[in-house]
Amino acid sequence: MAGLNIRRAGVLLHATSLPSAYGIGDLGRGACDFADFLSQAKASCWQLLPLTPTLPIGGHSPYSSLSAFAGNTMLISPDLLQREDLLATADLATLPPFPDGLVDFSAVIPFKERILERAWDTFSRARKGEDAFKAFCAEHASWLDDFALFKVLRNRYKDKAWNTWDAEVRDRKTDALERVRREVSGLIEREKYYQYLFYTQWSALKRCCNEKGIQLIGDIPIYVNYDSADVWANPHLFKLDQQKRPTHVAGVPPDYFSSTGQLWGNPVYRWDMLRERKFDWWIQRMAHTLSLFDLVRVDHFRGLVAFWEVPAGERTAVNGRWVDVPAAEFFTALKGRFPELPIIAEDLGIITDDVREIMDRFGFPGMRVLLFAFGEDNPRHPYLPHNYTPVSVAYTGTHDNNTVRGWIRREAGAEEKRRLFRYLGREVGSDLLSTELIRLLMMSVAGTVIIPMQDLLGLGEEARMNRPGVARGNWTWRLRKGQLTAHAAGAFAEMASLYGRA
């Protein structure tokens, strides 16, 4: 399955975390330099978080978006725009005082919006590359038309949720939408052009990586935001009432970690309607994602087997219920369209037998997170390396974890440390621990090993990407210039070679 049956190693780094002169990682030189770094490190895969547009109200989480299909235009490289003569040298001569090593979204967003508007103005005057732009619009019309209109309407309604719009627009009356399209045709075309720029730059980066023998691993959140182009354009696929408000929302039930569960608030799917339509929306979504990536990690995979739905209006997830998904039919349909279906199932937490059965039946590898392995004295713990199987993807941690160094210094209790050092056979200082845990994973039988870039560099808590349950200050960490050293690449390459993963 796209390389999951061979031993290999890769790195987890989101695109926003790449080095850049423009306040946020982008798809330009920093991304190409990182591909070179991975090649020098003898890594064969690069895992990223979702590339869809983020929102201030969602804390700029890549898992909260206006669209399951659109690209995050904040990742468009100004340097590449200048190379295409869409920007003048003067446009980039004066930059805001962006912080080093962090993303300041409040500074990045207005700067990037201004740069993109100038690129659009240049294109509008000269129409250079118009044939390629029109071809892109035609190829992606199934989602692009709705997204561009949704984005323009959202601006018109001052970012209010779509169910509060005028009823004829909310309900997508044909005459009303045609009238709006005529009134704002230029703005709609501009939104489409921004998506064209994003996907043109992404396609070039993907070719660059694939030519170096590096596969790209993407990430699909199974749910979409209520206030998204996806729900507005496809209300029949979600559990909504006559006023297009959710009747039920997603979450997870109470467990050891939370007595009230987690209430996520995303609308849940109408799987009866999806089945009647032969799962066409999901097939379209998967086809789009697999055109961008070589493999896909499916977040909250268990929700594609059975999901926890909570009546809308509840304050906690306690009063929910499990609802079965026609999982075998669904994945059979996906396999019919994508015979290899290169999926990594995010199966962290409590996973029931029905989920395991689907994973085994369709050959989907699960995840193993080493930092979770020492919370109990259990030699059969599935996250301990001696219990891995070849059909698994092993990590030191994920984007939701502290770094190894931050974990051992700030989070690991005395018993966890004791179990860890006993497993290692000796005590290890916090400055060396990430290297030792990477070695454990590299020598394991797990087919694929993915190391967060922060752990590859041995960074501390300051480099953490996300703190679940904390609303502010997440998703901002960036590599500093000079951190992608030959020494770091060489150390990774040595282990990859030693343990048969080069």
* 423 belongs to a structural domain: yes
* 3 belongs to a structural domain: no
Chain segment 313-358, per-residue pLDDT in tens = 999 999 999 999 999 999 999 999 999 999 999 999 889 999 999 9
Instruction: Please list the residues that pair with 307 across neighbouring strands.
Output: 323
Rounded distance between C-alpha atoms, residue 351 and residue 371, angstroms? 18
* Pairing outcome for strands 448-452 and 392-395: parallel
Reported residue count of the chain is 502
Rounded distance between C-alpha atoms, residue 499 and residue 445, angstroms? 10
Whether residue 28 contacts residue 196, with contact meaning beta carbons closer than 8 Å, is answered with no
Q: Distances in Å between the alpha carbon of 395 and those of 12, 15, 88, 372?
A: 9, 19, 43, 10
Question: In sequence order, what are the residues at sequence separation of 6 or more whose Cβ sits closer than 8 angstroms to the Cβ of residue 329?
Answer: 275, 279
Work out the pLDDT band at 119, boundaries 50, 70, 90.
very high
Q: 111: closest CA among 74, 62, 86, 83?
A: 74
Rounded distance between C-alpha atoms, residue 444 and residue 110, angstroms? 46
Whether residue 492 contacts residue 461, with contact meaning beta carbons closer than 8 Å, is answered with no
Phi/psi of residue 344, each to 5°?
A: -105, 125
Work out the pLDDT band at 83, boundaries 50, 70, 90.
very high
User: Does residue 1 carry a pLDDT above 60?
Assistant: no
Question: In sequence order, what are the residues at sequence separation of 6 or more whose Cβ sits closer than 8 angstroms to the Cβ of residue 358?
Answer: 304, 305, 327, 328, 331, 364
What is the average pLDDT across 79-88?
Answer: 97
* 250 belongs to a structural domain: yes
Q: What is the DSSP string of 102-118?
A: B--HHHHHHHHHHHHHH
Provide, rounded to the nearest whole percent, the portion of the chain with pLDDT above 70.
99
* 235 belongs to a structural domain: yes
Chain segment 266-324, per-residue pLDDT in tens = 999 999 999 999 999 999 999 999 999 999 999 999 999 999 999 999 999 999 999 99
Chain segment 207-259, per-residue pLDDT in tens = 999 999 999 999 999 999 999 999 999 999 999 999 999 999 999 999 877 88
Residue of 104, 145, 314, 400 marked active site? 400
Classify 184 in phi/psi space as left (phi over 0), alpha (psi -120 to 50) or beta.
Answer: alpha
Whether residue 434 contacts residue 371, with contact meaning beta carbons closer than 8 Å, is answered with no
Work out the pLDDT band at 5, boundaries 50, 70, 90.
low
Work out the pLDDT band at 470, boundaries 50, 70, 90.
confident
**346 counts as catalytic:** yes
Residue of 309, 346, 347, 455 marked active site? 346
**178 counts as catalytic:** no
* 41 belongs to a structural domain: yes
Q: Which two tokens stand for residue 147?
A: 């997204």
* 31 belongs to a structural domain: yes
Q: Which two tokens stand for residue 26?
A: 């982008």
User: Coil, helix or strand for 152?
Assistant: helix
Rounded distance between C-alpha atoms, residue 424 and residue 119, angstroms? 55
Rounded distance between C-alpha atoms, residue 362 and residue 388, angstroms? 19
Sign of the CA dihedral with 88 first, then 93, 96, and 102 last: positive
Distance of CA 217 to the CA centre of its chain: 9
Phi/psi of residue 303, each to 5°?
A: -70, -10
Whether residue 150 contacts residue 66, with contact meaning beta carbons closer than 8 Å, is answered with yes
**In this predicted structure, what is the pLDDT of residue 258?**
82
Number of domains in the chain: 1
Rounded distance between C-alpha atoms, residue 37 and residue 43, angstroms? 9
CATH code for the domain in which residue 137 is found: 3.20.20.80
**299 counts as catalytic:** yes
Rounded distance between C-alpha atoms, residue 321 and residue 251, angstroms? 10
Residue of 146, 230, 299, 309 marked active site? 299
User: Which stretches within 306-408 are classed as H helix?
Assistant: 327-337, 353-362, 404-406
User: Does residue 3 carry a pLDDT above 60?
Assistant: no
Chain segment 447-466, per-residue pLDDT in tens = 999 999 999 999 999 999 99
For the chain, counts of helices (H) and of strands (E)? 18, 12
- This prediction has a pTM of 0.96
Question: In sequence order, what are the residues at sequence separation of 6 or more whose Cβ sits closer than 8 angstroms to the Cβ of residue 136?
Answer: 192, 195, 196, 199, 200
Chain segment 400-437, per-residue pLDDT in tens = 999 999 999 999 999 999 999 999 999 999 999 999 99
For residue 449, the number of C-alpha atoms closer than 13 Å in the C-beta half-sphere is: 30
What domain range is 62 assigned to?
8-498
Instruction: Please list the residues that pair with 295 across neighbouring strands.
Output: 217
Work out the pLDDT band at 481, boundaries 50, 70, 90.
confident
* 2 belongs to a structural domain: no
Q: 398: closest CA among 63, 5, 7?
A: 63
* 1 belongs to a structural domain: no
Whether residue 75 contacts residue 48, with contact meaning beta carbons closer than 8 Å, is answered with no
Work out the pLDDT band at 4, boundaries 50, 70, 90.
low
Work out the pLDDT band at 82, boundaries 50, 70, 90.
very high
Question: In sequence order, what are the residues at sequence separation of 6 or more whose Cβ sits closer than 8 angstroms to the Cβ of residue 312?
Answer: 245, 246, 247, 248, 249
